[in-house]
Structure 1
C-alpha cells in the first residue's frame, strides 16, 4: 500500500538549480561546451581561435580567441542567465544574425563546472579575470581577446559523469564539434591541442578548401561544387561524388546562415537528389551552406540551437533538392575536352555568377578542376538514344574526322598505325584539328566485350559500355514518362512465361499502372502471362525479364500509389534490362555514337547504381607506367 503523498508548497527554484536543469539540454557532454565557447568566440569577431582539451574535456577545456574582448565592467554579467550582448528586442530575436543569443551557455556551464573568463579589449591596459563561482574579478595578463577555461566538468553533478564515454571518445566528439564550427567559418584559423598533442590546424582560407579538409583527402579528387541562387535563397557547397559513398552518414554537414543544424527536411531533400545515383543503403558525403533572410528562419527552437524552422519549408526543400540534383547530374568531362570547358579551374573562390535565370554550377573532375555552366534549357533538352540492334547513322558524330586506311588520331594530332580496331577491315580516322576533339574522344577498340577504349586529347578513356548505356536509357525513360508517358511498341510475337497465381492477379489488378510504364501484359491462362507490347525504347531488351521486374515491384510495394513513389527505382531496373549487354560486338560507328550520347546525357559519368561509367587515363600517367622520360 502506497504511503500518502505529502503536498509541497509551490516555490521558485534556486537560480543555480535552474541553471543545472538548463545545462541538461545545453551541456550534454564536453563537446557541447566546446561548441558553445567556439560560437561565442566567432560572435566576438575572432580571426584566430585555439582549443585545448584534457582527458576528453572533462578535466579541462580552454578556448582562446583574438576577438573584441569584454570590458571589465561587463565581465560579472557574462555568466548570468539570459545576459547577452547579442539581442535586446523581439525584432532582433526574429532576425537573429549571431550564433549565440539566448544567454544560457556560460550560466549552464558555470553551474556544472568551475569557470573562469579572462578578457581584454583593445583600449584596455591589461586583461581582467573573472571567477564565475565567487564573482571575484582581478587584473591578469593577456592579449586582446577572451580566454575561457572550464575545469572539472560535472564536478557539481557527478551522476552526469557516469553517462560519459571514455576520454578518447569524448575527445573525438570535441574535435568533431570544432570541425563542424570550422567548416562554416573558413576565414577564421583554428588550432587544437588534445592532451598536449597538437591536432592538425585549419588555417584561414577559402570555403572549398575548408570543406574538403572536413570531408577528408579521399574527396579532394572526387567532388563537385554547387553554387545556386534563386528567390532570395543561396546554396553553396561541396558534394562528394556518388561513387565515393559511405556506410554511415558521418560526413554530412548542413549549415543555415553559418549555423550547423540537423534538419530532417533538408537532409531528406539531399538524399533524394542522390537517390538514383547510388544504392539506397549507402550515404553520400557533403558540406552545404544555405543562406537566406534571417527573418525567414527561426533558430530559437531548441536550447542547443541545432534545429531550425523555415517560414516556407516546402520552397526551401524544393530549392535544395533541385540545386543538388542538377549539380550532380551535370556529368563531369575528361580534361582536354571541348564543349566550352575551362581547364583553369573555373570561377574564383567567391563563387560563380551567371545571367538572369542562369543557375551556374561548378564541379571538380577526377582529372582536375573544370568549370561548366548548366542552364534550365540544358537540363530539359531532348536526349538522343540508340537502342541495341538499331542501325547507327554512318559516321555519327564524326564530322571533324576523315576516314583513312591504316591510321588513327594521336594526342599530338599525328597518326599511327591501326591494329584493326573495332570492325572488320579496320576503320580509322585522320584528325583535322586537335582542339575539336570531343570530351570522350573517339573509339579505337572494344576490350573483352565489356569496355570501349577511346582516345581523347588527354590520353585514353576506358568506358564500361553496359553501365554507360544503362544511364542513357534510364534518363531517356525518365524524360519520356515525364513528358508524355512511355510509347508502346507491339511485339510481332507475344513473349510468354510461366507465373504463379499471385503474379497473374497482380497483372489483372494493376493494368493501368503497368500500361503507364509502357507495358502490355495479360494472362493467357491460370499460370501463363503474355507480354504483347513494351516501351519502344526497350524493344530490343529482355522482354520477359523486364515484365517480371515490374510485377515483382508491384508485389513488393503494393498498390499503384506505392509504385508511383518508386517510379525512378523501377525505371532504373528497366534500363538495366534494356542496356547493351556484355560480349555484344560493336562497330566503331556504334561505339562513337554511344560516346556522344554519354556526353549529352545528365549524370552519365556513373550508372544508376553509383558505379563509374568511364575512367580517364592521362598521357602523363601512361608515360609513368612505361618509365618514359625517366
Structure 2
C-alpha cells in the first residue's frame, strides 16, 4: 500500500543491526519448531551421532539442543553469532551446497528474539559459553562441557511480543516440534535422536546399524510405524543424474490427508509443489477418491543440479531440469507399484478380522478401521448381457451354482500366492485356500482391474485414437499461455488431442480423443495450463482418458451375481498374480483380503 504523495520524497535509511536481525528472525524462525529445525540441522552439520532435544511450554519457554558433534572453541563462539558467518561454505559457489545450513542467519536470528546461550567444547580445547539476550551479548566465559555443543533458547519472542500472539497452544506447538524432529530423524538413520517435552520423553530413535537401505527401513519403522514398512514397496531408480530411493506404501494403505508424505532432496526435508504433484501422479488411478498416498522418498543428485537457496527456511528447492525430476518420481513410483503385483495392505486383513469379532454393546464399542464401500445392489441385479468372458479356459461361465467344490490339490494352494479356489459365496466372493490361511476375493473388483490394465496396455501400444473436429475449436489465450501449451503439443497429440497455433495468442483444436464425447476443449486447455503453471506438468488429459478406460473396464468385467466355475475362479486368481496393481480395483479399494490360519484359530479360541 502506497501512503506517500508523489510530491514528497521518502527518506532512505539504513536499518540498525537489531532491527535487521529481527526481520531475519521473522523469515527463519516462524515458530518454536522452526528454531528446533535450525538447531538440529546445525548439530547434523557438526557431525553429531547423538542429538537430544528438550522443550518446555511447547518451546516458548525453553528449547535445548545438545549434540556430540565437533564443537566450537572459545574463539569461534562470538563469530557463530555474527550475521552471515558460517563454516559451511566459503561463498565462492552457492550451487555447491552439501550441508543443511549455509546462510549464517539462524543463530543471530534466534539471539535477536530470545535469550540464547551456547556452551561448546572442541576436541583438544577447553569448554566455553556465550550468552546473548535480545541481540545484546556478554563476553565468552570458560565452562565445563563434554565435546559437542549445547544450545539453550529461553523465552522465544520475548523481544518481539507481538509474535507471541500468533503462537498456537502448547500442545499444537509441541506436536509441530515433534513432527520436525521425526522428519529430520528419517533423513539421518545413523544418528540417534531423543525429544522430551516438559520433562517427559515423547520420541526416541537410537542410531541404526547396517547398510543404508536396511537402516532407512528400520528407522522408518520406528518413526512411521511397522504398518508402513510392512505395506510399502522399495523404490530405487536412477535417471539423468538423479537417484530416487525410499519406500512407497501400497495404494490400499492410504491416508485421509497428505500427512504421511515425506520428501527429501540431498537429505534435506522439503515441501515442493513439483515433487508432491509427481507423487500424486505416480499413484494416479490406484487411489480411492479423497485418499492420499503414504511415502518417504529421497532424491539425490549433484548439488549443481538443484538450487536450495530459494527461501531463508530452505524448505523449497528449484531443479535445473524440473521435468527430469518429476519424470523420475512418477516413473519410479508406477514401476514400483506395478512390481508389487497383486499385493494388498495387511491392514485390510486386520480390519477383516476385527469385523469378525463380536462387538461389545454400548458406547465403548469401536472399530479400528471402517470399510467405506459395499457391493452395489445395481451390480447384483446386472444383466448377463453386460458381462464379458473371463480370460480362462474354453469352458465359459458355469450355468449352475458352484456352492462348494474341492480345489485341484493342496500343493496348488501352498504354491500359489492367492491359493486355490474352494468356493463362491453370495455370487460375488471367491474363497481360496492358501498354504497358511485363506483369501477372500471380490470377483467384480478384481476382474475390473484386470480388464482395465489390459485396455491401458492396448492404448499404450496402439495410441489413443483422435477424431477430427468438423469445425476446429479456437481457444483464445495470452501469448505466453499459447506458447506454453504449444510446447507440449507433441505429448497431447499422443493422447489424441491435436492443437495448432492460430495466430496471436489463439490456438486451434483440430482433433480430440475419440473416446471423450462432448469434450469442452477450451476448459480442458485452460485446466492443463493451470497444471503447467502450478506443477510444471499436467496429467489431466491422461486422467480423463484413464477414467473412460476404467468405465469401459467396469462394464466389461464379470459382474457381482455371476456364478463361476472352479476353473474360472482359479484362472481369475492366476491372472491376478500376474497383473500389476491387481491388489486394488480402479477406484482404489482392495480386491482381496487374507486371513492367516493362526488368526482364524484365535477367533475360535484355539490359540492364545
- Per the normalisation by structure 2, the TM-score is 0.76
Matches within 5 A, 1:186-335: 186-205=189-208, 206-216=215-225, 218-332=227-341
Aligned mates of 1:191, 1:271 — CA distance in 2: 32
The answer on whether the counterparts of 1:223 and 1:365 sit within 8 Å (CA) in structure 2 is no
1:504 alignment counterpart: none
Cα offset, 1:432, TM superposition: 5.8
The answer on whether the counterparts of 2:189 and 2:219 sit within 8 Å (CA) in structure 1 is yes
1:562-596 CA-partner distances (Å, limit 9, x unpaired): 75551112222222222211110011111111111
Aligned mates of 1:242, 1:555 — CA distance in 2: 31
SS at match of 2:75: helix
1:456 to 2:434 alignment: yes
1:569 alignment counterpart: 547
Aligned mates of 1:424, 1:486 — CA distance in 2: 42
- Per the normalisation by structure 1, the TM-score is 0.74
2:56 alignment counterpart: 54
Cα offset, 1:434, TM superposition: 7.4
- Structure 1 residues 232, 395: closer, same or farther in 2, change over 3 A? farther
Cα offset, 1:330, TM superposition: 2.3
Matches within 5 A, 1:59-74: 59-74=61-76
1:240-296 CA-partner distances (Å, limit 9, x unpaired): 222232222122110001001111111101101112111343211211111111111
Aligned mates of 2:339, 2:272 — CA distance in 1: 26
Aligned mates of 2:331, 2:4 — CA distance in 1: 63
Matches within 5 A, 1:337-348: none
1:429 to 2:408 alignment: yes
SS at match of 1:454: strand
1:163 to 2:172 alignment: no
1:117 to 2:109 alignment: no
Cα offset, 1:225, TM superposition: 2.1
Count of equivalent residues:
508
- Structure 1 residues 204, 103: closer, same or farther in 2, change over 3 A? same
Aligned mates of 2:574, 2:390 — CA distance in 1: 16
- Structure 1 residues 451, 28: closer, same or farther in 2, change over 3 A? same
Cα offset, 1:621, TM superposition: 2.1
1:461-492 CA-partner distances (Å, limit 9, x unpaired): 111111111111111111111111589xxxxx
The answer on whether the counterparts of 1:212 and 1:238 sit within 8 Å (CA) in structure 2 is no
Kindly report the root-mean-square deviation, in angstroms, between the aligned alpha carbons of the 2 structures. 3.4
SS at match of 2:427: coil
SS at match of 1:463: strand
SS at match of 2:278: helix
Aligned mates of 2:100, 2:319 — CA distance in 1: 17
2:388 alignment counterpart: 388
- Structure 1 residues 53, 563: closer, same or farther in 2, change over 3 A? closer
- Structure 1 residues 486, 81: closer, same or farther in 2, change over 3 A? closer
- Structure 1 residues 611, 3: closer, same or farther in 2, change over 3 A? closer
Cα offset, 1:6, TM superposition: 6.2
The answer on whether the counterparts of 1:49 and 1:190 sit within 8 Å (CA) in structure 2 is yes
2:567 alignment counterpart: 589
- Structure 1 residues 115, 587: closer, same or farther in 2, change over 3 A? same
Structure 1 residues not aligned, in runs of 5+: 336-362, 369-386, 397-420, 488-506, 511-515, 519-546
Aligned mates of 1:302, 1:559 — CA distance in 2: 32
Aligned mates of 2:421, 2:388 — CA distance in 1: 17
Cα offset, 1:395, TM superposition: 8.8
Cα offset, 1:428, TM superposition: 4.4
Cα offset, 1:97, TM superposition: 0.4
1:43 alignment counterpart: 45
The answer on whether the counterparts of 1:224 and 1:365 sit within 8 Å (CA) in structure 2 is no
Cα offset, 1:313, TM superposition: 1.0
Aligned mates of 2:524, 2:239 — CA distance in 1: 38
Cα offset, 1:449, TM superposition: 0.8
Task: Give 2:144's match in structure 1, choosing from 138, 141, 148.
Answer: 141
Aligned mates of 2:520, 2:575 — CA distance in 1: 31
1:411-454 CA-partner distances (Å, limit 9, x unpaired): xxxxxxxxxx974995642456777x222122111111111111
1:8-54 CA-partner distances (Å, limit 9, x unpaired): 54332212211111111101111111100000000000011011111
Aligned mates of 1:444, 1:203 — CA distance in 2: 47
Cα offset, 1:324, TM superposition: 1.0
The answer on whether the counterparts of 1:334 and 1:616 sit within 8 Å (CA) in structure 2 is no
2:511 alignment counterpart: none
SS at match of 1:276: coil
The answer on whether the counterparts of 1:64 and 1:148 sit within 8 Å (CA) in structure 2 is yes
SS at match of 1:179: helix
1:358-396 CA-partner distances (Å, limit 9, x unpaired): xxxxx999899xxxxxxxxxxxxxxxxxx7336832599
1:185 to 2:188 alignment: yes
Aligned mates of 2:343, 2:435 — CA distance in 1: 9
1:176 alignment counterpart: 179
Task: Give 1:78's match in structure 2, choosing from 77, 80, 99.
Answer: 80
Cα offset, 1:208, TM superposition: 1.2
SS at match of 1:90: coil
